[in-house]
Structure 1
Amino acid sequence: MAQSDVLVIGAGPAGLSAATELARRGVTVTVLDREDTAGGIPRHCNHPPYGLREFQRLMRGPAYAKRLVEEALASGVTIRTRTTVVALHPGGRVEITSPQGLETLSARAVLLATGVRETSRAARLIGGEKPGGVMSTGALQGIVHLNGQRPFQRPVILGTELVAFSALLTCRHAGITPVAMIEPATRITAYSPAAMLARVLGVPILRGTAIDAIYGRTRVEGLRLNRPDGPEELATDGVIVSGGFRPDAALLRASHLEVDPGSGGPVIDVWGRLSDPSYFAAGNLLRGVETAGWCWAEGRRVALAIHAALQDRLPT
């Protein structure tokens, strides 16, 4: 059974910052991630602002993610990509699958930093046909930045969370012109200054508006909207279903660990420790989506708690 002092599940900003902090303190750390490349969501976000809190410079997402990975490796962290955790067991024992097959790993502490998932069209109860051109922000950014493709020309962005404005910047970078951002509430979800970005780029925000149906056979052709003053048709060739985040907690729910019914993430104490004291959590697994900088800072904070726990100095 392979063993490290600490296993970190998730190679995004929270997981990598925690791993780096622990390794710099002499702890043996292994990071596990199911993706081909470490770095998390910022790898797909080829726009600023990243890095101001962490590196005192303005960076694009891919460069920021690369810097996080480089710092972790330079500190002595082992990163295993293409590795999926399939089970969590009491006492810091986890089962994984990778190109090398099934393995069981053991650690004195395990940090869960698996982040969030965007809510799907089906979960939002959007009716109509099921043509191509409906995707999440993550899918859009993967297609644009990793594959170099342009999936549509004039899409609609559903939602006004920070990630929706990330989708807007992704569209701008790819030469895509959104026709509107749609927000069911009367106020945008992100910080108010974010609305300035849409205004500068000439993209209207339709507040108090819901998508009733999507039209199109093979590709999106239009939407039926429910607006405050009545129904309206809108021509568009794509829908970016943005935000509506929930913790990526399938692994957690299948385990012995206690789940918070409010957030859908783990129950934690003030130190980020779970119901099994061998486990900790940090980052967006714990809440609705926060910025990469926030997750990076929280990863460092929880790393200090883990380091104290390894020395039997963490209050119970």
Structure 2
Amino acid sequence: MVVVGGGTAGLAAAAELRRRDVGRVLVLEREEEAGGIPRHCAHPPFGVREYGRLMTGPSYARLNVARALASGAEIRTGVTAVALKPDGLIALATPHGLAEVRGRRVLLCLGAREMPRSARLIGGSRPRGVINTGALQSAVNLKHIKPFEAPLILGTELVSLSAILTCRHAGIRPVAMIEPAAKPIARWPLTLFPRIAGVPLYLGASLHAIEGESRVRRAVVRLADGHVRYFDCDGILLTGGFTPESAVLRLSNLAIDPGTGGPVTDSFGRCSDASYFAAGNLLRPVETSGWCWREGKRMAALIAEELASGLPDTARMVTVTSANPVRYAVPQRVLAGDSAGTALQLRVSRHCTGTLSASQGGHVLVSRRGDFRPERRILLQLPPGLAASTPIEIALS
């Protein structure tokens, strides 16, 4: 059994697979140290639901690694999957050259990354000092350097609040935080944190351009009222805007979902090639470490069940489709028949109010009324007994 990715989901899955006695479990991690994104987050809260204690990110990552190793899983670091071939064959780049490994089943836990400046269509010059949260946390917590002194922060997701904590820890004083939407992305009362930390928050504000030659000197921001404001700063911190680390998938035979950017999966986490399963933030950008930990364990249980006695045939799956403003639904294929229903995880592309419903053949299966915002988890629990061959449609009314 091969797990590609040694972050939270991959390590939790590896430990659970060994606990369920599936045989050899090999974890492949491209970084020099396993543990994933929590390694960079030198602050709580991590581990409360998983381990019953409040931990910093590095402590949480070390415990996940220790649990996986104690279970008997093997972890190889500095190893990158460069090609996913049919039937679980993986081409690798290792410190010793190219290699291949084949797994009876392969669990993909490649995670997600923040979008760079180029993908955000931000104008202006190209000075140094424009980085994302991962680069900030790596610089501060792993390399012990300050990439800037007074940055402007773009975004109000949970990771944006984590960025403020990292700045405070390093003695960095952000000049402001801006959010293009009319309301913050993170939930209240977390949205009070920027002001508590002394960082002015501007909603409905967009980064128009970056000025500076060798170094960021000023940010040009268009405010909600249409006026332009200039912020003197020495850096731009781009937070959020996650996308799955799916580059290697795009050269494989695995189907990609255009909404998530990750692999198409069914109710049991299987990809379009049933040798491959997926878990964690490769499935959808982006969830908390705790969610990914639980998802990794759940996927390990399903893989163990599949190896022992088999899972329902993929021919019994029906397709899930969605229409704007519903950005995506995960999984994209669900089991028809009398088995227990599946919880669909949704995201919307913009702030909207109304009723989200899942329908099949014109019949409403489940609906939920609410105030929905981008990057917030939305769950719809489908009932059992779905009709075969009839797509499920997700819509907002």
Residue 204 of structure 1: CA displacement? 1.6
Does 156-165 or 72-81 show the bigger shift?
A: 156-165
- Quote the RMSD (CA, aligned, Å): 0.8
Structure 1 residue 20 and structure 2 residue 15: aligned? yes
Residue 312 of structure 1: CA displacement? 3.0
In 1: Cα distance, 2:214 partner to 2:85 partner: 45
Higher share of residues assigned strand:
2
Does 30-39 or 148-157 show the bigger shift?
A: 148-157
What are the equivalent positions in structure 2 for 1:1-316 lying under 5 Å apart?
6-27=1-22, 28-229=24-225, 230-316=227-313
Equivalent pair of 2:152/2:219 in contact (CA under 8 Å) = no
Amino acid at match of 1:65: A
Residue 166 of structure 1: CA displacement? 1.0
Show CA shifts across 1:127-174 (max 9, x none).
111111110100011110111001111111111111111111110111
Show CA shifts across 1:104-135 (max 9, x none).
10111000000111111111111111111110
Q: Which residue of 1 aligns with 2:357?
A: none
Higher share of residues assigned helix:
1
How high is the sequence identity, in percent, across the aligned residues? 55
Q: Provide runs of 4+ in structure 1 moved above 4 Å.
A: none
In 2: Cα distance, 1:245 partner to 1:29 partner: 29
Larger Rg: 2
Q: Which residue of 1 aligns with 2:380?
A: none
In 1: Cα distance, 2:219 partner to 2:76 partner: 43
Does 291-300 or 215-224 show the bigger shift?
A: 215-224
In 2: Cα distance, 1:239 partner to 1:19 partner: 37
Amino acid at match of 1:310: L
Show CA shifts across 1:55-87 (max 9, x none).
111100001000000000000000000001111
**Does 1 or 2 have the higher relative contact order (CA < 8 Å, sep 6+)?**
1
Gaps of 5+ in 1: 1-5
Size of the aligned set, in residue pairs, is: 311
Residue 53 of structure 1: CA displacement? 1.0
Residue 199 of structure 1: CA displacement? 2.0
Equivalent pair of 2:42/2:166 in contact (CA under 8 Å) = yes
Amino acid at match of 1:294: W
In 1: Cα distance, 2:190 partner to 2:210 partner: 27
Residue 188 of structure 1: CA displacement? 1.0
SS of aligned partner of 1:250: coil
TM-score, normalising length from structure 2? 0.77
Gaps of 5+ in 2: 314-397
Q: Which residue of 1 aligns with 2:375?
A: none
TM-score, normalising length from structure 1? 0.97
Equivalent pair of 2:129/2:236 in contact (CA under 8 Å) = yes
SS of aligned partner of 2:199: coil
In 2: Cα distance, 1:252 partner to 1:288 partner: 16
Residue 286 of structure 1: CA displacement? 0.8
Amino acid at match of 1:181: M
